[in-house]
Amino acid sequence: MKIAVMGAGGVGGYYGAMLAAAGNDVSFVARGAHLEAMQRRGLTLIGPDGERVVPVEATDDPRRIGVADVVLFAVKLYDTEAASRAIAPLVGEGTRVLTLQNGIDGGETLARDHGPHRIWAGPAYVSASIAEPGVIRHFGGPARVRFGTWDRRPDPLAKTFAEACNAAGFVTELVEDVREPLWTKFVLLATNGGFSAAARLPIANIYRDPRLRPQAIEAMREVAAVARAEGAPVADDVAEQCVAYADNIGEGVRASICNDLLRGARIEVEGLSGVVVRLADKHGMDVPVHRMLYALLKPYENGPVDT
């Protein structure tokens, strides 16, 4: 299977390297020092099981890759529109684009640009990041993907790709309605991201703090309420499920938006608490915790604030 990875950060880098190591034809679209390191020595995976180097093909020009069977789309939310246009040379009649981005709305842009019948979407469950150019660090825990078709129609290629992912060593589940896993993760993601970044703390610290924990739980309930208003089929106890998951997140793990903030990079605030606030406003709902998180983080959207 020919796979192109658009966005070779923690998510795209980890899953792409695993698929390449399993014998698939995988090419990465990357840039800067990360691209140069991948071209020189391959992509290094470091994790609890040790370190290994995976030989990979990498370029900054999608035209050099050509049409792929599957495009793994794993760019930051603020790069979605530009990256969606950039992958046009990778997309042919039979190509499918799987967005593994944070948030819930990346698929809308891809469906508009490439047709909803070509789009798959779902959450990625993996704690990984770029440790240095050409190196992806996996912080442990099971890596998993749940995805489905954007238009909710059966697609034989989706089953084939899920089988390839499972054979590559990460559990992949095909679902009928992508709204459920996307929104279920978003309850956790928007809340953990907002609090970890606003407090500049690892996620575990949020839930151990008696002042922050109840606020985080309330924030999860806010997202769950917005999900239901949007018609997403989330469980009645989705917030409680997410709290139980958060209580077991490893020590020292920060949300990606927090890591980006701490290193002075752009942050995905619009795609996290920003989405919660906008959709709440659409439905005439009150989301005071996420409104505060959004207000605190919005000034840092494009990097450090001059003082």
Mean pLDDT in order along the chain per 10 residues (307 residues): 96 97 97 97 93 96 98 96 98 98 94 98 93 93 92 96 97 96 97 98 97 98 98 96 93 92 96 98 98 98 86
Under DSSP, is residue 132 helix (H, G, I), strand (E, B) or coil? strand
All CATH 3.40.50.720 domain ranges of the chain, comma separated, are: 2-176
What's residue 55's pLDDT?
96
What pLDDT is recorded for position 141?
75
**Rounded CA separation 223/273 (Å):** 9
The interaxial angle of helices 213-229 and 179-199, nearest 10 deg, is 150
| CATH 1.10.1040.10 domain extents, the chain | 180-300
Neighbours of 1 (CB within 10 A): 16
The DSSP symbol for 267 reads -
pLDDT value for 250:
85
The predicted pLDDT at position 108 comes to 95
Q: Closest Cα to residue 99, out of 77, 129, 126?
A: 77
Beta-carbon contacts of residue 46 (< 8 Å; ≥ 6 apart): 131, 135, 136, 137, 138
Asked if the 180-300 domain carries CATH number 1.10.1040.10, the reply is yes
- The pLDDT score that the predictor gives to residue 140 is 78
Radius of gyration of the CA atoms of the chain, in A:
19
pLDDT given for residue 307 in this prediction: 62
Question: Coil, helix or strand for 28?
Answer: strand
Work out whether the CA dihedral 284, 287, 292, 296 comes out positive or negative.
negative
Say what the pLDDT of residue 142 is.
Answer: 78
pLDDT confidence of residue 264: 95
pLDDT for position 305:
87
CATH 3.40.50.720 fits 2-176, yes or no: yes
Q: At what angle do helices 288-297 and 179-199 cross, to 10 degrees?
A: 60
Q: What is the pLDDT of residue 127?
A: 87
- At residue 96's C-alpha, the angle toward residues 91 and 97, to 5°, is 85
Q: Do residues 240 and 50 make contact, with C-beta atoms less than 8 angstroms apart? A: no
